[in-house]
Structure 1
Amino acid sequence: MDSVSMKSIIAISLHLLLMTDFVMAETQNPPPQAEASSKPNIIVIMADDLGYNDLGSYGCKDIPTPHLDKLASDGVRFTSGYVTWPMCGPSRAGFLTGKQQSKFGYYENVSAPFDPKQGLPKIETIASLLKKQGYVTGGVGKWHMGTTNDQHPNAMGFDDWFGFLGGGLMYFPLDHPSYKGRFAPIKRPLNMKYLQHTMPVIHNREPVEWKQYLTRELTDAGIRFLEKKRKEPFFLFMSYNAPHLDLEAPEETIAKFPPEKMSKIPGVKPADRSVYAAMVWEMDQGIGQLLAKLDELELSENTVVWFLSDNGGMRKTSDNRPLRGTKGAPHEGGIRVPMFVRWPGKAQPGKVLEDPVTSLDITATSIAMAGGDPQAAKLHGKDIRPYLTEQTKEPPHRTLYWHTARGPAPEGVIRDGDFKLIIGKKSVELYNLKEDLGETKNLAAEYPEKVQAMKARWLEWDKDKAPPLWTGDKNIQYADYDWLKGSPHYRDGSE
């Protein structure tokens, strides 16, 4: 073999060796762009006070919800999806932190939003944890976690926030003709409810003007976030106010739901159900627009979309059947909610899963999807990806616990398999949910040993609850936050 041929062989061999090293290096150390693009976008849509049976996918007959039904059929729907408390504030505190709220002393709703003691303590949230995984984080709608500078969503992990900081909001601007001057100007101190419901809409720390129906305003804000952040891995918390009271909707929407055509629900007036239906329909339409925007931006295939309500539906408006109870109750109608997730390419569309899962699992699983470690973050939920993808048929939870007292009193719920025990102030209730989903027959007297064993387990779980973050209310009407300027609740500290 001549020297020229030998040099060619050596050159080719070196080239192949270098190429092999390059390919191996690329495989072992993918470029940052590839890592970023592999992270799924994550959206959590939370309704407020939506009844268990108020979506078509859960059996509703009088309120069309085509977009949410399509989202449920494109994903995995849970029949035993639970939240951590039967009312807004503690339930949302549990989801946002990924932790049982009694473990850090959050036992009741923020009722006095300008009382600096009320609301979240300094704590990690789903947003701050996802930021650590390289996500840009956004929130839209209801906060209800306090109003101090340290409790503001921007200080709790949200890069971008459009919404309101109270526990609800009137659905039209305060000068809307339907209010007949009731709120503009406010002539006397407001009760706790309307103090919260007349706070301004803000974008981060600036007040903004808004002109349209609130649900539509929030949808538009969510769409703007998607358009702006579409090139980065993002997390978006769409925290709708609907269908929380007050009962308000555009007249043309209410007209779609004549009272005489609404389902007959015990304790619900047809006229109230009519407006409630309009509110749910408006929310469904908005969610349809958000999902369409994902399609338009070619983001759908890499976006996980969760949906749930923050607690059970209201006695005045909602249909929680076949469950017993409503918002505020420890029965299934207070804590079991519509819940589903669309995870394209991973979770089988149309799957219905019956084992219990919780809102805490949404937080933990989202962190895991983003590449984080829920256990290292000391979250109380479970990463349910193996359950969602049917890699395992083992239920994520054998036993679930709730602390339901509005304080540290020993009141709560334990669900162990099919059995559920409610521990009240003076009595206990035991139900077999598999045989009696409506909780109609209290079995406590028939199974005293099971009652004692389950109660002992709950008491052991409840031992490390924290003292209340606050007690009592201070009806503080004014504050000097810059984002309050222009609202009826702004007053300079010098006044």
Structure 2
Amino acid sequence: MSQLVRIICLSCVLTATTVRSAENVIVIMADDLGYADVGCFGCKDIPTPNIDRLAAEGVRFTSAYVTGNMCGPSRAGFLTGRHQSTFGYYQNVSQPFDPAQGLPRMDTIASLLQKQGYVTGGVGKWHMGTTNEQHPNAMGFDDWFGFLGGGLMYYPLDHPSYNGRFNPLKKPANHRDLQHTMPVIHNMEPVQWDQYLTRELTDAGVAFVERNQEQPFFLFMSYNAPHLDLEAPQETIAKFPVESVTKVPGVKPNARSIYGAMVYELDAGIGRLLAKVDELGLTGNTVVWFLSDHGGMKRTSDNRPLRGSKGNSYEGGLRVPMIVKWPGKSPAGVVLESPVTSLDIGATSLAMAGGNPVSSGLHGTDIRAYLSGQTDQAPHEVLYWHTGSYKNPEGAIREGDFKLLYQKGKPELYNLNKDIGETTDLAASQPERVRAMLSRWKEWTKNAQPELWEKSHGEYQYADYEWLKGSQHYRDKSK
């Protein structure tokens, strides 16, 4: 072997070793999961041993927040690492085939990690639009297995339990039926599937890890569970008899039973995914995050002791269960109480990969020093939310223990340290604090941009995307 060949071979080995030393990143996001619906956050009626194990081996955050109280805005914030109001994303996609609705072409956490040499994968719910420019493959994901709507029925549409409700679908269809009946796709190809959806998505996540175990990877496990509709395998529902479920105000026992089964299946899927990481010897080199995309729904979830739920800006709409396991770096079983945000996941992951969150335009904070115990300083002096519209701004600001909400032109002030349930409005008794916090929030909202889209005029019931062929949503517009 010549000296030149030896040098080239040695260079290849060093390069491969250097690349493989980067931490893999897995982000597991639940949909509509209640704050108190995980064992390590106080749940009594739904066993979640795999999520609990993640917390026992990692760090659990008690004051973790997302950037929006609805699926679309919250996920747009997470995926881009930026406050969604700064690019005009204020509402859920309501007409999935309206090309005006959804995420504009821009960098995502996935595309930024691609630039750092990562292979990037996503599984499950997208909800960011359906055009070719909005497809996950065009937004930084090398590999995508899932669905592009805001949800999906948990069984194929010809499942006997549906009694023909969705196949054929009555037209014009409402937005929920449009969202929840689109095909499962792998990149640009439709996929046939026949099992409970949460299990199908887990299979796809496991397969992605197996395929990419030799290189640094980013995997976004975007489960739609336990989002409505309430569906689970009968044998799993049987584990949650209505007389045994927790009595949650406003939640019917039967709904809680099925919801419990859905969370149980979600946890089981997470267990299977993490077991595969263990089996492949990747555990010590893989950072795993877990969170919900916002608070749980009134009809199904337990957000106590928080006030509110999905769709509003009280703690029950914005504060979520969040966990991270960073093997060898973050201490095991630690509970961190300072506020953090879903935006910090992208910033921290990019920093771990060797990128620069600030120069990349991310709004989160690199919290590695906080995670590892190198500092106990709170990562954020203040947190902001813009949960209204551009024309009618509403939202919240948190400074230390105090949180101010601004809704319908009226401020509300709460001391979260003394009143986590936001039961006592202090606005009238602390006018100076209200004025200062409201002024700071209004100054921050000057960065907001006009809505990316207004409500659709007309019906968008069909599209001619190749991946829709074979589904009842496909129509060749050229004919």
Shared fold per TM-score greater than 0.5: yes
2:473 aligns with 489
Query: CA offsets, 1:331-390, max 9 Å, x none?
Result: 000000000100000000101000000000001000001111001101000000000011
CA contact (8 A) 1:192 1:475 kept: no
- Find the aligned partners of 1:257 and 1:195 in 2 and give their Cα distance: 31
2:205 aligns with 222
Task: Measure how far apart 1:426 and its partner are.
Answer: 2.8
- Find the aligned partners of 2:307 and 2:71 in 1 and give their Cα distance: 19
Task: Measure how far apart 1:38 and its partner are.
Answer: 1.6
SS at match of 1:346: coil
- Find the aligned partners of 2:391 and 2:125 in 1 and give their Cα distance: 26
Match status 1:477 vs 2:461: yes
Q: 1:225 is matched by which residue type in structure 2?
A: F
TM-score in terms of structure 1 length: 0.93
SS at match of 1:92: helix
1:284 aligns with 267
CA contact (8 A) 1:410 1:459 kept: no
Alignment partner for residue 77 of structure 1, among 60, 63, 81? 60
CA contact (8 A) 1:56 1:69 kept: yes
Q: 1:478 is matched by which residue type in structure 2?
A: Y
CA contact (8 A) 1:408 1:465 kept: no
CA contact (8 A) 1:76 1:342 kept: yes
1:327 aligns with 310
Task: Measure how far apart 1:185 and its partner are.
Answer: 1.4
Task: Measure how far apart 1:30 and its partner are.
Answer: 9.4
- Find the aligned partners of 2:382 and 2:203 in 1 and give their Cα distance: 40
- Find the aligned partners of 1:64 and 1:382 in 2 and give their Cα distance: 33
2:283 aligns with 300
Correspondence list, 1:318-397, <5 A: 318-397=301-380
Alignment partner for residue 183 of structure 2, among 177, 197, 200? 200
RMSD of the alignment, in Å?
Answer: 1.3
Q: 2:314 is matched by which residue type in structure 1?
A: H
Match status 1:242 vs 2:253: no
Match status 1:209 vs 2:202: no
Alignment partner for residue 86 of structure 1, among 61, 69, 83? 69
Give 5+ residue unaligned stretches, structure 1. 1-25
- Find the aligned partners of 1:333 and 1:482 in 2 and give their Cα distance: 40
Correspondence list, 1:401-420, <5 A: 401-420=384-403
CA contact (8 A) 1:80 1:355 kept: yes
How high is the sequence identity, in percent, across the aligned residues? 69
Alignment partner for residue 143 of structure 1, among 123, 126, 129? 126
- Find the aligned partners of 1:185 and 1:108 in 2 and give their Cα distance: 29
Give 5+ residue unaligned stretches, structure 2. 1-9
Task: Measure how far apart 1:190 and its partner are.
Answer: 1.1
SS at match of 1:190: coil
Task: Measure how far apart 1:394 and its partner are.
Answer: 0.6
Correspondence list, 1:454-469, <5 A: 454-469=437-452
Match status 1:263 vs 2:252: no
Q: 2:16 is matched by which residue type in structure 1?
A: Q
Q: 1:463 is matched by which residue type in structure 2?
A: K
CA contact (8 A) 1:419 1:431 kept: yes
Alignment partner for residue 118 of structure 1, among 72, 93, 101? 101
- Find the aligned partners of 1:283 and 1:475 in 2 and give their Cα distance: 34
Considering only CA atoms, is the larger Rg found in Structure 1 or Structure 2?
1
Aligned residues: 469
- Find the aligned partners of 1:255 and 1:193 in 2 and give their Cα distance: 28
- Find the aligned partners of 1:421 and 1:140 in 2 and give their Cα distance: 36
Q: For the structure 1 residues 488 and 31, does the alpha-carbon distance in structure 2 shift closer, same or farther, using more than 3 Å as the test?
A: same
CA contact (8 A) 1:108 1:407 kept: no
- Find the aligned partners of 1:475 and 1:421 in 2 and give their Cα distance: 39
Query: CA offsets, 1:144-180, max 9 Å, x none?
Result: 0000000000000000000000000000000000000
2:160 aligns with 177
Task: Measure how far apart 1:475 and its partner are.
Answer: 2.8
SS at match of 2:384: strand
Match status 1:421 vs 2:404: yes
1:55 aligns with 38
SS at match of 1:463: helix
Match status 1:159 vs 2:142: yes
Query: CA offsets, 1:22-74, max 9 Å, x none?
Result: xxxx99x9921232122000000000000000000000000000000001111
- Find the aligned partners of 1:410 and 1:113 in 2 and give their Cα distance: 25
SS at match of 1:456: helix
